[in-house]
Every structure is written in structure tokens, then in C-alpha cells.
Amino acid sequence: MKHLISLLKLTFFLVFFTILNPTTQADAPVENFDKIAEMLKQSGKLSETATEEETEQAVKDYIRERTKSFKDAKKKPPKKNES
């Protein structure tokens, strides 16, 4: 059972990082790209009147930052339990 859970976790992370690959819009499913763009507009980080190029760049920048934060989190040593 532990092996199955480990396998499922690994599969989830592989799929997650594949979707968040910041290379081009074509690499990410269009529905996810559109959802991220809508979220950026709703949060005020992207103008409602942004051009297609501005929207694409904003989404790429968002994905790049999110991916960077995950990579940075991996580099930090785990916290020690002070029990």
C-alpha cells in the first residue's frame, strides 16, 4: 500500500510539473492557460484590456515564478523537529 501511495505521489508531481512547464503556451493545455489568465485578471495583476501578447507573457511569467518557488523549496533543508 505504501508503494502505491508513493507511486501516486510521484505521478501527480510529474503531471503537475509537466503542465507548469513555462516554455510556451502550446505546451500547457489551453484550458489551464485561460484559467490562469482569468485568475490574473480577477486579482488585478493583469489588466482586463490586456492584449493577447500581454496576457500570454503575464501567464508565462506567473508560471515561471510558481515553478521557481517550487524549485527553491526543494533546495531548502528540511526543518528539524525540536521535540
Per-residue pLDDT, averaged over 61-67, amounts to 85
- Report the length, in residues, of the chain: 83
34-54 pLDDT, tens digit per residue, is 889 999 999 999 999 999 999
Q: What is the pLDDT of residue 25?
A: 47
The set of cell numbers assigned to 79 is: 526543518
Number of H helices and E strands in the chain, helices first, is 3, 0
Q: What torsion, rounded to 10 degrees, do the Cα atoms 59, 61, 62, 66 define? A: 140
Q: Please calculate the CA angle 12-18-24 and round it to the nearest 5 degrees.
A: 155
pTM for this entry: 0.51
